[in-house]
Copies of this chain bind each other. A is one copy, B any other.
Amino acid sequence: MAIDHLDGRLLVLLAKEPRIGVLEMSRRLGVARGTVQARLDRLQSNGVIRGFGPQVDPAALGYPVTAFATLQIRQGQGPDVRAHLATVPEVLELHTTTGGGDMLCRLVARSNADLQRVIDRVVGFDGIVRASTAIVMENPVPLRIIPLVEQAAAEH
Assembly CA distance A117 to B142 (angstroms): 22
Q: Is the CB of B134 within 8 A of A99?
A: yes
Q: How many residues of chain A get a CB closer than 8 Å to chain B's CBs?
A: 66
Determine chain A's interface SS by DSSP, over half rule. Answer: mixed
- State which of B56, B68, B96 has its C-beta within 8 Å of the C-beta of A95: B68
In chain B, what residue has the closest Cβ to A90? B148
Contact present for B147 and A89 (CB under 8 Å): yes
Assuming the A-B contacts A50-B56, A85-B141, A138-B96, are A61 and B19 also in contact, with contact meaning beta carbons closer than 8 angstroms in the complex?
Answer: no
The answer on a CB contact under 8 Å between B82 and A95 is: no
A–B pairs, 9, beta carbons within 8 Å: A51-B54, A52-B55, A56-B145, A56-B148, A88-B147, A92-B145, A93-B141, A104-B134, A104-B136
